[in-house]
Structure 1
Amino acid sequence: MKNSTPIKRLSLIASGVALSTCVLAVDRANAQPIVLDFEGLQNFEEILDFYNNGTGSQGSSGINYGVSFSPNSLAIVQGAPGSNIGGLPSPVTAAFFLSGAANTMNVARGFETGLSFFYSAVNNPGFVTIYDGLDGTGNVLATINLPTTPNGGGDPACNFNNFCPFVPVGVTFNGIAKSVDFGGSVNQIGFDNIEITLVSRTTVPEPASVLGLLAIGALGAGSALTRKLLK
């Protein structure tokens, strides 16, 4: 019977290690892919905090992803007065801008791995720049130059809208991004179905912290075993 004690102790410590490993695995799994399709916004409405627990300029509200847009970021709705878009990946709303060189998306929580979206730029090329700081600041993590896209003005499938179809683009990068400039010529480029992966809300413990947790777990297991033997 004396030889069984070490076996029990090892079993308890191994259980603690397995539990810690599970916690870390779940933490990494909390990364959340989202798609911003701008549905629910009104024509020419400023997007603002539509995706940030707030509203657009006309009171429209969406899912709270912690994502906000600069005041020059506007929604445009297919078929609405003044709209000339078609062939969207998810009808009927896209984003564009009427002032400045770009509209900016801020992601306070940060996003990782990559960025994908659809765009239409019939007359002039555009660009997208990804930063590790808010409001287009910090280090540049990636830049995409966007060539002009087909003009669907004579295509019945586009319902004779010039800014049609919207073309898919994607880029990968290293690090945590906090903002993106979607740029080009004013009133000459539209964006839709912006897809990002939000980083986990839970911070992954540093290696030293993990070792500390394992040590505490091992000591707790050993203390429990000692108390049991003394009874």
Structure 2
Amino acid sequence: MFSLGTNAGIGLTIDTGKSASILLVEDDVDIALVMESWLRSQRYSVQVAKSGEEALQILQDSRFDILILDWMLPGLSGLQVCQHARREGDNCLIIMLTNKAHVAEKEIALDAGADDYLTKPFNLRELSARLRALLRRPKLFRGFTYQIKDLILDCSKFTVQKGGVDVPLLPREFALLEFLMRNADVVFSPEEILNNVWASEAQASPDTIRTYIKKLRRKLDTPGRLSMFRTVHSVGYCLDSDNV
């Protein structure tokens, strides 16, 4: 399934100075033992669940910085665990491990709320590199509520309202809107948006940003009015507070 490589990396800590905590959800005992040993050697704090159901039970009482989810679990799948975590407002970082190499299936995982994915077989050093990249990304400002006129985004409840009406957003759409509202009226290039919202540049491109801006326009703009998501030609995008 994976190889170790030759050089060990160094795990990152979170803002409190403590080692980042990981919930590893893997039903293959041998694979789980190898991964747990590797992650601990990288100075992460690791807990293991052998099923999706066990993972949800653990998540009821504990919070983690990162979830590593095997997609193909017996019973509740890793994808379902990911979706449940996002519905409950859990903003932890999520990596999906999958045998599914097709772009459409990877898109399903990312739209369900995963921040990154690794296709089996993979090198454990690559897993460590992905973890370090994820932990360098700024998190959502948990507990914050942003309001611009009648547009309200609640990070703790993972909800968005426009004109008093709930607007359901996919996790990636929510993260993009949160970033733009937090930096209203500031123009960002597609590359800057990728670095702040997407887990790694390998997952997305400027075309991806355009696609998600269009999705937000369809869901949040008022027909017949200028879009609140302003495109600055050859520069980038911003949320224009005057047009909300």
Give 1 or 2: higher strand fraction: 1
Give 1 or 2 for the bigger CA radius of gyration: 1
Task: Compare relative contact order (CA 8 Å, sep 6+) and give the higher one, 1 or 2.
Answer: 1
User: Structure 1-normalised TM-score?
Assistant: 0.25
Q: Hey, which of these two has a bigger chunk of helix by percent?
A: 2
